[in-house]
Structure 1
Amino acid sequence: MKKRICLRYLLLLLSLVTPLPLLADTLSIPVGDQGDPHIVLPNRGESQKAVLERFGLPDEEHPAVGKPPITRWDYREFSVYFESGVVVDAVRQHRSQYLKDLSPTPKEPQ
């Protein structure tokens, strides 16, 4: 008898809990402006020397961290990640639309 009552409560509980995921809303958050898609980025597998010859000196060079050593070079429009002197990834810099609107505009000659 107790088994039947427990089974009924279990079935009732399952019937109440099962539809809960169906009530969830889908929330879409726009990623925003991720930089100019036409910017040429270094290719995976390129050496630091090849990147240096192709793009020049970085604006900022971060020291290697971790094992294997990961180094980051920051350019104006993108960052390059190196592992043991070889490109593992290159990503565009996020440019906030708000900051773009605040950037000074060139003044016209008077």
Structure 2
Amino acid sequence: MTTNTLQEVPAVPVLSIIVTDAGGKITSFSEGAEKLFEWKASEVVGKSVATMHTEQGVKEFGKILGDAANGRYEGSLAFKKKNGQTFQARLQVLATKDKTGKVNSYIGITYQI
């Protein structure tokens, strides 16, 4: 590829992966999540994932987790960075379940749009 061709390729968005326990406490925070939300994993592991949500996102939290528990949630939401700046992102949430069907974790995949 030539330099001109490479300049025409759109930038690849930063992909954030955040894993929580069934109660929404962060258990894993990817390098992409650190870049997107501007928090270090050490600052947020053990805290509620609501830390990254706007007030409206917190209100929708129950629906998001309910949809994920019943298959998956996918949508666009406003999120907030460590400094409070908000941004729009695409979010997909999947639930992992034990043998009895009880949710034991959620995996959230986010990229800024």
Give the TM-score normalised by structure 1: 0.32
Q: Looking at CA atoms only, which structure, 1 or 2, has the larger radius of gyration?
A: 1
Give the TM-score normalised by structure 2: 0.31
Q: Which has the higher contact order (CA 8 A, sep 6+)?
A: 2
